[in-house]
Amino acid sequence: MRRGWILPGAFAAVLGAALASRGSVAQTAPAPSHVAPGAGIPGPLARVTWSNQVVRLLQKSCQNCHHDGGIAPFPLVQYQDAWEHRTQIQIVTSSGRMPPWKADAACSSFEGNPSLSDSELKTIDRWIASGSPEGDPRDLPPPMVFENGWAAGTPDVVLSMAKPFLPDFAAGDVYRCFVLPTGISEQKYLRAVEVAPGNRSMVHHVLVFADTTNATAGKDGADGQPGYPCFGGPGFGNVSPLGAWVPGIRPAALPDGIGIDLPGDAALVMQVHYSARTGGVAPDVTRLGLSFSKVPVQKRLLTLPLVNQTFRLPAGQSNIPVSASFTNLLQPVHILGIAPHMHLLGRTMSVTATMGSAPACLVNVPDWDFRWQGPYYYTTPVALPFGSRLDLTAVYDNSLSNPNNPNTPPKDVRWGENTSDEMCLCYLMFTLDYENLSRAPGLAATTLETFAPFWDEPFKIQEPRPAP
């Protein structure tokens, strides 16, 4: 299960490096007294059954989505579920289509990678080849329990969509933004931002943004339906996500001393991606839980957008490279998480950090899929010293051979938030090593105001250029 904190910057799907954004948590009961004979034995002599091995693999890698009420189109919780879909399980796992994890494990170590190892894939193959037996029910592990409560603890404030929203899937997936006034007039630090999807069978992912300029005034409900349409972002500038939810993320609060800055009088905007692929349609009321920091905050969770807004993707061309760089970190930092973002023409994206002579890989997505984007959280935060260089390289396909191309025939594409536009963007969630927001008697605080806000510069200096 993916665990994370919610930070300003998850995305995936949707964007976010400390993430608290799942309202359904899988828990297990105490271990059974009966131990499965041969369970976990990878050798060829082990008899593979559903009860002693296969169900454990599906709990680890599949059931967070494949359970009743989950985003997947069918459950894989009971033996009968797996029996009915056994051939499909083998096909999608052996091809790498499932479970959906797009970050290359050879690049960096991330929390919650559900990918199946070669030995685990062979276990599934042996189960299928032997007739997919159920085995002894006494060998079953404790079942996963999916709860709809607040997994990161009872929030201090719960915000909800004003009215249920019923998506119209006639044209495919729906991206809808909902404005949630907080009623909080003073600045606060958050230790958790948790999203509780109302209809998990339709909600693919959720991103949370803060509107500090009243830019969304009048948008919500302007077309007669709750919320307003949005695709690439919330529609009010290049803002980093405050939080995110994707299926399988296990929420947790930020460590003591780190907080998410929530400006006073800000409205929160939830961008909800509703998936048409499950086949069901029902009203949704997604909620948002905010938990305030209970101890003094010493460091803010910040987001650096590594971005190129000036590219042009010529119509009909494939394998189009686009790059972005941040050439000089002005302070030492620790990177907690990273969230690549492109639209439908994106094919690959990688980000490296050069701290000396050799670049280090921060993230590599060799097979981009807009439907399965999200934030990735490092097993160990990555330390970047003063002067480090960040480089992003992305590749796009704007040809007819790209089945996801939204334009027929293809047309020149530039930066934008519409479905037919593109983005080249990666959020890096970090803390400043030298930041200390707490004040000691007789000592001046070390605050962000002491430093130039270098993390805001990419969006300030890279304005879209007019078409040539």
Non-local (6+) Cβ contacts of 145 within 8 A are: 26, 27, 28, 29
Instruction: Look at residue 274 and tell me if it is in a domain.
Output: yes
CA distance 87 to 334: 44
Q: What is the CATH number of the domain that holds 311?
A: 2.60.120.230
Is residue 36's pLDDT more than 60?
no
**DSSP alpha helix (H) spans, 232-294:** none
454 in the same domain as 307: yes
Cβ 461 vs Cβ 325: under 8 Å: no
376 in the same domain as 327: yes
- Most confident of the following: 36-45, 70-79, 135-144, 447-456: 135-144
- Please report which confidence band the pLDDT of residue 413 belongs to, taking 50, 70 and 90 as the band edges: very high
Q: Average the pLDDT over each of 146-155, 295-304, 355-364 and give the range with the smallest value.
A: 146-155
Burial (CB count within 10 angstroms: exposed 0-12, middle 13-18, buried 19+), residue 300: buried
255 in the same domain as 177: yes
Q: Specify the pLDDT at position 450.
A: 38
- Cα angle value 46/51/57 (rounded, 5°): 80
Q: DSSP strand E in 1-149: where?
A: 2-4, 25-28, 144-147
336 in the same domain as 242: no
332 in the same domain as 242: no
Among 116, 145, 174, identify where a domain stops.
Answer: 145
Instruction: Look at residue 326 and tell me if it is in a domain.
Output: yes
318 in the same domain as 236: no
Q: Specify the pLDDT at position 384.
A: 94
247 in the same domain as 196: yes
445 in the same domain as 341: yes
| Segments forming the whole domain that contains residue 361 | 302-461
382 in the same domain as 336: yes
Instruction: Look at residue 8 and tell me if it is in a domain.
Output: no
Q: Give the type of residue at 142.
A: P
Instruction: Look at residue 29 and tell me if it is in a domain.
Output: no
In the chain, the percentage of residues whose pLDDT exceeds 70 is 80
Q: Specify the pLDDT at position 249.
A: 64
Is residue 403's pLDDT more than 90?
yes
**What DSSP element (H or E) covers 381?**
strand 376-384
Instruction: Look at residue 420 and tell me if it is in a domain.
Output: yes
Instruction: Look at residue 282 and tell me if it is in a domain.
Output: yes
Is residue 462's pLDDT more than 50?
no
Q: Specify the pLDDT at position 158.
A: 95
Q: Which among 419, 420, 424, 400 has a CA at the least distance from the CA of 410? A: 400
Instruction: Look at residue 12 and tell me if it is in a domain.
Output: no
Q: What is the CATH number of the domain that holds 293?
A: 2.60.120.310
In the chain, the percentage of residues whose pLDDT exceeds 90 is 51
41 in the same domain as 119: yes
Instruction: Look at residue 203 and tell me if it is in a domain.
Output: yes
Peptide bond into 321 cis (omega under 30): no
Q: How many residues does the chain have?
A: 468
CA distance 14 to 240: 11
Q: How many domains does the chain have?
A: 3
Q: What does the pLDDT average to over 98-119?
A: 89
What global pTM score does this model have?
Answer: 0.74
CA distance 5 to 251: 6
Q: What does the pLDDT average to over 201-214?
A: 87
CA distance 313 to 346: 11
294 in the same domain as 176: yes
Q: What does the pLDDT average to over 267-284?
A: 86
70 in the same domain as 140: yes
